[in-house]
Amino acid sequence: MRSKIVAGNWKMNNSAKESKALIKNLKKSVKGLPLNNTRVIVAPSFVYLQKIAKKTAGTPIEVAAQNMNDAPKGAYTGEVSGEMLKSIHVNTVILGHSERREYYYETDTILKKKVLSALDQNFEIIFCFGEVLEDRKSNKHFDVVKSQIVNALFDLTSDDWENIILAYEPVWAIGTGETASPEQAQEMHAFVRDLIATKYDQHLAEHTSILYGGSVKPANAEEIFSKEDVDGGLIGGASLNADDFTAIVKAI
Ligand code: PGA
């Protein structure tokens, strides 16, 4: 059975003090929850990752990095390698977030390199994809999503896919307060699952977790998560508040 996952992407937010308080509150509120098959992940800034990994060791909260470089080491000023992340026991990385695609020009080709490097180093990857508003308005959203997935992920083996979590994040819904309707999310998730079944097989498709991201809040989480092919969420803004994030975890 595929896992349910609620992941919090803290992005470039929080001071050291705020991060410490957030993780402390989150540990308290997540403790004792009947999580069953649900994984809870937080992705703080690199600056706090080691501390937060230590603070959450032995708790149900896992940590992920928000990005990594595809090179193992070297003269890449300002970058962080997979080796560095592994050395502080971080084993999950978010790749392909629309903010990386838009502001740092990460193309499908760059993302494919990152994916291969991360898999080579035994990372689990939360791979994000999603269309911009113009794509949806011109009815190109399925084509855009298909090409993002095919270009970065369809040369992988079935074994590689055991370490892939997908996150559908329509760009027009990220940080805008506008959410895709549960039906729009379900429609895209089912489309993506079908793509995987066609390229690989039904078993792999059924075992791949597909998260939804884009303005998920305590008020709308339950309805989105109730959809058959929505296996959880990648949460931005609402993950910065322990009560909100916990409410979203509870909604699954
Ligand atoms: P949001 O961000 O929840 O603030 O819309 C989601 C994301 O970018 O992962």
63-83 residue pLDDT tens: 999 999 999 999 999 999 999
What pLDDT does residue 37 have?
86
The pLDDT confidence band at residue 178, using thresholds 50, 70 and 90, is confident
Pocket test for ligand 1, best of 11, 126, 174, 244 (most atoms within 8 A of CB): 174
Please check the confidence at residue 101 and state whether its pLDDT lies above 90: yes
Q: Is the pLDDT of residue 234 over 90?
A: yes
- Does the Cβ of 216 fall within 6 Å of ligand 1? yes
| pLDDT, tens only, 36-68 | 889 999 999 999 999 999 999 999 999 999 999
The total of other beta-carbon atoms located within 10 Å of residue 76's CB is: 11
| Predicted pLDDT at 130 | 98
Name the nearest CA neighbour of 197 among 154, 152, 151, 139. Answer: 154
pLDDT at 1: 80
- pLDDT (0 to 100) of residue 235: 98
In whole angstroms, give the CA distance from residue 40 to residue 249: 7
How confident is the model over 111-156, as pLDDT tens digits? 999 999 999 999 999 999 999 999 999 999 999 999 999 999 999 9
Question: Is pLDDT above 90 for 13?
Answer: yes
**Beta strands in 53-146, from DSSP E residues, in sequence order:** 61-63, 92-95, 124-129
- pTM, to two decimals: 0.97
Measure 169 CA to ligand 1 centroid, in angstroms.
Answer: 8
Is residue 181 very low, low, confident or very high in pLDDT (cuts 50, 70, 90)? Answer: very high
The neighbouring-strand residues paired with 93 are 65, 125
Residues in the chain: 252
Res 251: pLDDT: 96
Number of other residues whose CB lies within 10 A of the CB of residue 188: 23
Cα distance between residue 28 and residue 35, in whole Å = 14
Q: CA 233 to CA 86: how far, in whole Å?
A: 25
Ligand 1 atom 2 nearest Cα: 236
Cα–Cα distance for residue pair 20/180, rounded to 1 Å: 32
The reported pLDDT for the residue numbered 60 is 95
* Protein residue whose Cα sits closest to atom 1 of ligand 1: 236
Q: Point out the catalytic residue in the list 62, 97, 106, 189.
A: 97
User: Residue 32: its pLDDT value, please?
Assistant: 85
212 in Cβ contact with 165 (< 8 Å):
no
User: How many percent of the chain have pLDDT more than 90?
Assistant: 95
Res 82: pLDDT: 98
Is 97 considered catalytic here? yes
